[in-house]
Structure 1
Amino acid sequence: MTIATPDWVKHAVFYQIFPDSFARMVPQHQQWLLDVPLQAWDAPPNVQEYKGGNLWGIISQLDYLQDLGFTALYLTPVFQSACNHRYHTHDYYQVDPLLGGNEALWSLRDELHRRGMRLVLDGVFNHASRGFFQFNDILEQGPHSPWIHWFEVENWPLSAYDGSLPAHYKSWVDNRALPQFNHRNPAVREYLMRVGEYWISQGMDGWRLDVPFCITEPGFWQEFRQRIKAVNPEAYITGEIFGDASAWLDGSQFDGVMNYPFGEATLAFVGGDRVQLQHLPQDGFRPTPPLDAAGYGDAIQTLLHRHPWTIQQTQLNLLDSHDVARVGSILGGDRPSLILALILLMTFPGAPCVFYGDEVGLMGVHEPDCRRGFPTPDQWDRSLQATYHTLIQVRHRLEALRTGTYEVLLTDGLVYGFGRSLGDRGAIVVINGDTAAQSFRLDLSPLADIAPGAWAGGAIAYGDENISGWDLQGSQITGTLAARSGLIYATP
């Protein structure tokens, strides 16, 4: 089977936004939004109060995001919901009024596309909410509701709010606020397919699918892909899968997944025993035990050989997200570890994805703390922000870092080196995770398509202050890399 994935994703750098906490701006014609009670922006987030961030606020920050080099946004859910994270969908066709409504989404879409940027929405299709019309009708009408077969009703009466009584309906992880759809019902299946089609037809550039592994009805995701791609073949479909996603990445379902295994291995290598396990859940994202360069190389090779190359190029690579502690907190605030992780993120095949605020040093442990309000400029870590900007621009400038092959070249203690090659152009990356400077010898001969003369005419694209004793002779590079630092060298 020929696998086709969206070409634009291979060149994209994503920025993930939790809308309630990123930015707030109220236009003149929606002044009523100023009259609702909200949590203080800098107060610790919780699961009930709203900070009031909205889509107008995101629009107001697009210059900032574009200047940093981000080319695509992934937003956690935006549809009407009685919850600040909006995974409790009330209406799949209406944007939450606190976010500015459908009008604000249309404006965001248009402004992004005017800039050549993309927009991916979060699709929550496993479960709805107690306020979803069809489920609410069941609560009101009981066994007489015409929508009774849309959900998994087991007995009567239903208890949607009183936890001392049995719920009598299936819900996601037994959270009665999240009634689970009956995906065996053809009407439910068709409804969800049409939701997916509708927003793509309205110019959205893709879907990130929430807990897609919970939908086990045969053929569901295959049909979803067929129908989405019929509307727009370049629409991106990525799923939330924490472990081995091979079952969903055979080319018949998703274009990629949130690549948590990459983040786990990367943080285990650069963070080592600095990883703060107390901030991580016992399941899901676990960047442990510490890895040396050989262990990291093995982990990376496993990932690269797990999926077809066209799929690997459209994986959504990340170091953190709205569901786990922030990368800065996972690493205990250790700056060198964070920068090494960022180098590896920006040079790996697939689309890198940065969680809002990471670039200015926003911290936060497991949810909801990781969803803090975006800090005011006086609180920004400007040096870290500059490093994000530099590495994103290096990725944009060097096509080999986006679509070139990946070859592990060196694993020595905590020194790791690899090459990316695209035709006669290439780049090499060397990481020293050791607490002392380390000398290295790199053999470039495995990158056989690139002539030695091309390497000789290259230049250091990042980290020139980290290297000493640099010497390039034929296909051999030697040098000494400063403690816990990295280097990117590229052909012209």
Structure 2
Amino acid sequence: MLKEAIYHRPNNEFIYALDEETLQIRLKTKKNDVDRVALIFGDPYDFNKEKKCWISKQKDMRFNGSDGLYDYWLIEVKPEHKRLRYGFLLINSDKTLVYTERGFYEQQPKDASFYFCFPFLNKADVFSPPAWVNSTVWYQIFPERFANGDFSINPEGTLPWKSERPSHKGFYGGDFQGIIDHLDYLVDLGITGIYLTPIFKAHSNHKYDTIDYMEIDPQFGDKKTFKQLVQNCHKKGIKVMLDAVFNHSGKYFSPFLDVIEKGEDSLYKDWFHLHGLPVKTSYPANYDTFGYVSSMPKLNTENPEVKGYLLDVAKYWIEEFDIDGWRLDVANEVDHAFWREFRATVKKVKPDAYILGEIWHDSMPWLQGDQFDAVMNYPLTNAITDYFATGSISSTEFVNTVTKIINMYPETVNEVQFNLLGSHDTPRILTLSGNNKKKVKLQFLVQLTMAGTPCIYYGDEISMPGKDDPDCRRCMVWDKKEQDTDMFSFVQKLITLRKKFDVFRTNQNFGFLDTAESDVICYNKQDTENELFVVINNSEDVKEVTLPIRYQHNNVLDLLNDEEKLLNTKLQLQGYSAGLFLVR
């Protein structure tokens, strides 16, 4: 038994409150090194005077999957007095060990002080993301390219809709009225949340270079129209989330212009990270920026005035327009102290507002209940893209990666993670998939059967193509003859199933199942009402898949074909196809 690979720490994703009564505890061990793990646990103050030992009990932990290096183990316990001391009994064919905070022992220590400690399950420490998020299906809209509903506010030089491929500087006149005009389309698809990229006054077509955080960009409409958009969305059961660009402003943000003009005499010189004066806006700029983009100067969120201004922005758009959430751009480059105040400010105004960070890597420091509710789940995006779209990883690597992602965060976070296949920052999934629509369908199937809250990038549901930015930001196709209605119907069906069956939206009892076939993956999950079984052939060849024994000769509801059937020993899958079954 490799001791060096056995790991637990008494915080973060390794122990956390599921609710006001229940703790969930996770342990990792070397892959295939431990046969059984049991939790040793008890109240820290329970002591047997006769035996002179701490009173504890044991409960087997369940296996929670393997990645390339580790096995994961998981368990739930309800401490009688909301406090816990605990350790782990590890067993394989060669050895039995007890793992505690002080290390490893061959015999169970009798003193409670040897063990890991969870001091008290305080209600205030329970991570409670908004209840509505897990059942929401999002749709990301790049407003400039979704629909032009009011030609009277078109920017100067607006191009005819879809007249040419997008450039970094071109405008096509997309606006709020265009979104309002097509809300029924979103309702028909099954969308219950829209995420809008920035809508505030800005110089560019993407609006990530803010000029005024308190004003709507005139090319989209005015505040009256925006309020109408939010109200109409709410009437149709659709939440609205805005994009907050608080890491940086635009070059034409009035405080930055003041610094350029007045230099050392500017009242705003400490609003930015300047490396010298006068300000030099040509490359290389003498101030911190987003990336190396000189038109996006980085804001100093540690400055009290900057902080006050941005927190007022966060409150204003909720109080005045009743938006339901904030997506936070480049969130990992803003200080944690600011985000803690941001959360307190937002939740005071609207306790069930969704706070989503744009972070592309392991984000545990932001997901401890004091900053974000979730982050954009790009690790899952990458795994799905690499396996299904580009084929750059094997089935084993996909299974290992997804298992690692699932065990990266508390389950309370996994339930509201923002799962996307593409965005305005990535090539279109159809293009990445070599225009193979069967591959795209498999990606939608995985996305919509995973725990979290899925998001569809506008147009992916009708098979819009597009390479890297700006090509991935093409005008939405509204001509029915040019839309892929088969793809729309497929996505619509999956969304309907996700809404109908809670098991689609949870990780409860999730696990990958062994299959002897290459390029075939199987996974299942089970809640208190249903068991879902998924098998996918990610190859162009017909596959005869020997089913796991537990599903052989089982009655199932074939969800993709709407029929009851009896599974046999084997299941034949056509190239790039899947079986999606509710077990009876």
TM-score range, shorter chain: 0.7 to 0.9
Amino acid across the alignment from 2:513:
L
Task: State the alpha-carbon separation in 2 of the partners of residues 408 and 241 from structure 1.
Answer: 27
SS at match of 1:67: helix
Aligned position for 1:306: 408
Counterpart in the other structure of 1:388:
491
| 1:214 pairs with 2:306 | no
Partners of 1:184 and 1:222 lie apart in 2 by: 12
Instruction: Tell me, in whole angstroms, the C-alpha distance in 2 between the residues paired with 1:139 and 1:327.
Output: 42
Q: Deviations over 1:205-263 (max 9, x none)?
A: 10111011111x34221221222112222111111111222222222221111111111
Structure 1 residue 37 displacement after superposition:
2.4
Aligned to 1:435: 540
Alignment partner of 1:487 is 2:579 = yes
> Who is 2:525 aligned against?
420
Q: Distance in 2 between matches of 1:429 and 1:357?
A: 26
Q: Which amino acid aligns with 1:251?
A: G
Task: Note the 1:38-49 alignment, pairs <5 A.
Answer: 38-42=158-162, 43-49=164-170
Residue 379 of structure 1 corresponds to: 482
The answer (yes or no) to whether the contact 1:409–1:442 under 8 Å persists in 2 is: no
Q: Which is strand-richer, 1 or 2?
A: 2
Please tell me whether residue 104 in structure 1 is matched to residue 225 in structure 2: yes
Specify the SS of the correspondent of 2:370: coil
Given residue 135 of structure 2, which amino acid in structure 1 is its aligned partner?
Answer: H
User: Aligned match of 1:266 in 381, 384, 392?
Assistant: 384
> Which structure 2 residues correspond to residues 32-111 of structure 1 after superposition, within 5 A?
32-33=152-153, 36-42=156-162, 43-111=164-232
For 1:219, what is the secondary structure of its paired residue?
A: helix
Structure 2 residue aligned with 1:363: 465
Gapped regions of structure 2 (runs ≥ 5): 1-124
Q: Which amino acid aligns with 2:129?
A: T
How do 1:268-417 and structure 2 match up within 5 A? 268-273=386-391, 289-292=392-395, 294-377=396-479, 378-403=481-506, 405=508, 406-412=510-516, 413-417=518-522
Q: Measure, in 1, the Cα distance between the counterparts of 2:152 and 2:458.
A: 27
Offset at residue 34 of structure 1 (A) = 5.1
Equivalent residue number for residue 256 of structure 2: 135
In the alignment, the residues of structure 2 paired with residue 36 and residue 410 of structure 1 have an alpha-carbon distance, to the nearest angstrom, of: 59
Cα drift, residue 359 of structure 1: 1.0
Q: CA deviation at 1:437?
A: 2.3
User: How far apart, CA to CA, are the structure 1 residues paired with 2:152 and 2:536?
Assistant: 52
Note the residue ranges of structure 1 that are not aligned, 5 or more in a row. 274-288, 447-451
> More deviation in 384-393 or 315-324?
384-393
Amino acid at match of 2:573: L
User: Match of 1:36, SS?
Assistant: coil
**SS of residue matched to 1:113:** helix
Distance 1:89 1:258 in 2: 22
Match of 2:145 among 7, 21, 29: 21
**Per-residue deviation at 1:199?**
1.6
Which amino acid counterpart does residue 6 of structure 1 have in structure 2? P
Tell me the CA shift for residue 126 of structure 1: 0.5
Q: Is the 8 A contact 1:272 1:291 kept in 2?
A: no
Deviates more, 1:405-414 or 1:75-84: 405-414
State yes or no: 1:170 paired with 2:288.
yes
Distance in 1, Cα, partners of 2:285 & 2:443: 44
Q: Cα RMSD over matched residues? A: 2.2
Change (3 A) 1:93 1:353: same
Distance 1:411 1:6, change over 3 A: farther
- Which amino acid in structure 2 is aligned with residue 97 of structure 1? P
Counterpart residue type for residue 422 of structure 1: D
Aligned counterparts of 2:501 and 2:466: Cα–Cα separation in 1: 32
**Per-residue deviation, 1:489:** 1.1
The letter for the 2-side match of 1:10 is N
- Give 1 or 2: higher helix fraction: 1
Who is 1:199 aligned against?
A: 317
1:383-433 deviation line (CA, Å, top 9, x unaligned): 111111111112112111013512223444221111122203222111111
2:450/2:507 contact within 8 Å kept: no
Deviation at 1:481, TM superposition (A): 2.0
Residues 167 and 392 from structure 1, CA distance in 2 versus in 1: closer, same or farther, beyond 3 angstroms? same
| 8 Å CA contact retained: 2:533, 2:583 | no
Q: 1:340 to 1:81 in 2, by over 3 A?
A: same
Max Rg structure: 2
- SS of structure 2 residue aligned to 1:263: helix
What's 1:461 paired with?
Answer: 559
Give the drift of 1:20. 0.3
C-alpha displacement at 1:155, in angstroms? 1.8
Contact 2:427 2:469 in 1 (8 A): yes
- Per-residue displacement from partner, 1:103-146 (whole Å, max 9, x unpaired)? 22111100011111100100100000121121112222222121
What SS does the corresponding residue of 1:70 show, helix, strand or coil? coil
Percent identity reads 33
Which residue, out of 349, 355, 358, partners 1:237?
Answer: 355
Counterpart of 2:431, as a letter, is: S
RCO comparison, higher one (Cα < 8 Å, 6+)? 1
User: Within 1, Cα distance between the matches of 2:345 and 2:131?
Assistant: 19
CA distance in 1, matches of 2:213, 2:390: 43
SS, match of residue 191 in structure 2? coil
Structure-2 change in CA distance of 1:34 and 1:173 (3 Å)? closer
TM-score, length of structure 2 as denominator length? 0.74
Q: Distance in 1 between matches of 2:427 and 2:155?
A: 32
How many pairs does the alignment contain?
455
Q: Which amino acid aligns with 1:373?
A: C
Tell me if structure 1 keeps the 8 A contact 2:155–2:219: no
Partner residue in 1 for 2:34: none
